[in-house]
Structure formats: structure tokens, C-alpha cells
Amino acid sequence: MKNLGLIVKISNPAAIKLGNEIAAWIAKKGGKVFTDTAHAALIKPVTSVLPDALADSIDVMVVLGGDGTMLYAARLINGKKIPILGVNLGGLGFLTAISSLNEVYPMLERLMKDDFTVEERMMLAISVVRHGKEVSKYKVLNDAVVKGENARLVRLETRINKEYVTTYRADGLIVATPTGSTAYSLSAAGPILYPTIHSIIVAPICPFNLTNRPVVIADWMTVDVTVSPGQSNVQLILDGQVDVPLESGDAIKINRADTSVYLIKYEGKSYFDILRERLMWEVKVDSSSNLLPK
């Protein structure tokens, strides 16, 4: 690895400081650091490129921040098979592999030697069809959310593999990947899925009918959501970061994307370690040894 992409959480001084330290360290090792134009003024030494060109310039991406920064970086990768290493300097950080600063430089040493393993995470492809024509398309790592504004209930006709399921009357509807199962879907009482399972979650948000519960379907299925007639002020929200206004009658088609995101794993820390740490699950002590279970 010689060319490293670096994205930091702009609002976090600690992330900016660490970013500058990493850039200097990589330069001393003979590598080169690239970032997009939005971050170029924050990090030195660095080569600035347009966001659309960043993925073509790097071998690996390092992200300093939380899950939001990771999702931003995943969009910059734009479907290319470039591994991403996340260092949690944000909130929960389910997508980040490293949570301790002591782990950063040993992992960077391994990156320089191409000594690391990755985990594939599926994405969703979303298209918006209006009056029979596709007007926009996107890819997400976490979720696509159809939601009304001003806390109004919306009516969303939902089909799976063209079979009618129901017309949700709810605050909105979440369609999530296994990676996104610990994001908005979790707050809507959705299940936690192991991130490499090939499945899709369909979870209503605060449904009027309390028997409307989240469902999990196979990743080869397609979800079609239609904004029912007479609905206004409805939005499609992508990974919590991109808002797309919808109109009455718009159809949103969601299926597994043909590209994935590849996250670098930190060996010695399992997904359940991350869940236990981020969700503050109880740790039971073995009374006979007073040692934590391994």
C-alpha cells in the first residue's frame, strides 16, 4: 500500500489532529496521502483531489470519526473495491474497527505491508420512478428511509417481489441492510443482524397499526414502495445524509446492489465485542475465577 485516502470528522478537533499526525507518519514511510477538497485545508501533507476522483487515486481509505463519517467515505468510494479502515472518534461507531488510539499505528503498519483482512458488506440500490420514468438512482450502505415531514403519518403501498404486502400508515418506512440493522432500524424495534448475512430488513416507523412489525427478507428480493395518492411533503433519506423530495405516486424500487463495501477487520475483536461495547450490554463475571468470559 502506497496511496492512502484520509477522511476525518470535520467538527472533531481530535480527528483533525490525528489526521495530521497520520499524514506525516505515512509521508515518512514513503507513502502518499490523498483527501477530497472538503478536507484538504485541514490535513498536511496531503494531495487534494475532487471527490469523484478520490477512489481512483488510493489503495486504501482511513476514516477518523463515527459512523456518519464512514458512510460519507463509503459514498466517495462509489462501489470500487477499496478497503476502508475506521477509527472511532465519533459516537457509537458500529462501522469502525478501532476504538483505541493505541491500536492505530500498529494497524497502519500492517496496512503498509498489505497485511490485513476485509469483510464484505452488502449495499442497496435505490431508484425513484416518477410517471413511469426513472428520475434518480442511488446506493446506500445502511438504509433507505421513506418518511413524512412534520411528524405526519404517510401511506406507503409496499410490495415484495411484486407481491402486495400492506399499505403502511406510519411515520415512515425503513429498508435496511444487515450493516444498517444497528442504525435507524434498531430504533424502530428492528432486529440486529450479523453484518455478513445476506438479508434485507423492512421496518415501519411508529406504525398506526401496532401489529405492523419489521420483517426480514432474502437479499435477492426487491422491495417496491409507492407513495399513496394525496401524500405530500414526503422524503427519501439515504444513509441519513442525502434527502430526496418525493411526490405523490412516486415509486421507490430497492434491491441488493451489484457492488459492496469492504471494511478492514481488526483481528482480536469480534462483532459481538463491538455490540457489547457500543450497546453497553451486561458483562457476566465468572464467579469461580473472577475473570471475564473469553
Angle at 62 between CA 56 and CA 64, to 5 degrees: 135
Is residue 142 helix, strand or coil? coil
Clarify whether 67 is annotated catalytic. yes
Distances (CA, A) of 231 to 158, 235, 261: 15, 11, 34
Q: Using CB atoms within 10 Å of the CB of residue 34, give its burial: 0 to 12 exposed, 13 to 18 middle, 19+ buried.
A: buried
Element at 15 (helix H, strand E): helix 13-28
Are the C-beta atoms of residues 64 and 19 closer than 8 Å to each other?
yes
CA 243/CA 80 separation, integer angstroms: 23
48 touches 35 (CB < 8 A): yes
Contact 262, 179 (CB under 8 A): no
Strands 251-264 and 223-227: what pairing? antiparallel
Q: 254: which 3 cell numbers? A: 430497492
* 183 neighbors 142 (Cβ within 8 angstroms): yes
Choose the catalytic residue: 36, 56, 67, 224: 67
CA 260 to chain centre: 11
d(CA 99, CA 178): 21
Q: Which residue from 130, 66, 68, 140 is spatially nearest to 98, judged by alpha carbons?
A: 66
Catalytic residues: 67
